[in-house]
Every structure is written in C-alpha cells, then in structure tokens.
Amino acid sequence: MQGLEPIIAAHPLFAGLAPRYLELLAGCARNQRFEAGSYLFREGEPAREFLLLRHGRVALEIHAPARAPILIATLGDGELVGASWLVPPYRWQFDARALQTVRAIGIDAECLRAKAEADAGFGYDMMKRFVPVVVARLQATRLQLLDVYGRR
C-alpha cells in the first residue's frame, strides 16, 4: 500500500475494508488541515466531502435565532465528520468548527458516490459502515435533547 491507503485502512470506520474497495476510496481522498477556530464547513453549504479525523477536536453546532450556537457533539481522533453527503440535496445540516488544529483525510463525496453507483458491492459496503454512525449520532442527539429539554 502507498499514499493514503494505509491511513484510511487504519481508520476505525474502514477496518477490514477489502483491498479493492480501499483503493477505490483512497482515489477520492486528500489530506486536509484546519486551524483552531476555523470552520470545516457551515450549515447550508454544499456537502462535498466527509472527513476522517486523524488529530484534533471538532465541535458540531447548530444555530437558533437569538441564541448562542448549540453544541451537538464534540468529535476527536478516529471519528467521522459529516454524513450529509449521503442524502440529497447534499447540504450540511450543522456547522463543524475546529476546537484545535485538526488534521484529517477528506473524501470527495461526488467521487465516492460515482464509484458506489458503478460498483454496487462497494456502495453497499459504504452504507453498512455509515448507517450505524448516523444512527448513533441521532441517538446521542435525542439523549442530549432529553437532557436539555426534559428537565422541569
């Protein structure tokens, strides 16, 4: 393996990924860096990629009128940032802000969707990996809402 393949293969989301699928995925990947305080993306912008965090912490936030941003989650090393690229209209549903310097692998969504369309087995493998992450994030958000709004 060369290039980004070993790094992607070591990421928990892609543990055990078949070598041929790893090659497809790496073909859509690039290194990225974000400085503390900068935004990886903003709510409403096109979701053109997702990020595999290698180092650093990222706050996922939503904005409500006349309120400070609401923290949804804090993500760190080994986690995935962004799943809005999976579902049309492919727009971010929240802001992602670097809490410290972040190093990540960015995976181009259009590239990945095209490869998944061309290879149904690859597409199915990607969905099996992403759906549990999305469900876990929804559950965590539900529990956070219960904590915030369930108090009387």
pLDDT tens for 88-113 read 999 999 999 999 999 999 999 999 99
The DSSP string of 1-61 is --TTHHHHHHSGGGTT--HHHHHHHHTTEEEEEE-TT-EEE-TTSB--EEEEEEES-EEEE
Please check the confidence at residue 68 and state whether its pLDDT lies above 50: yes
The whole-model pTM stands at 0.87
The 29-34 sheet, strands edge to edge? 29-34, 102-108, 49-55, 80-81
Q: Domain containing 12 — which CATH number?
A: 2.60.120.10
- Name the one residue in this structure whose structure tokens are 């965090």: 53
Q: How many domains does the chain have?
A: 1
Domain span including residue 105: 5-149
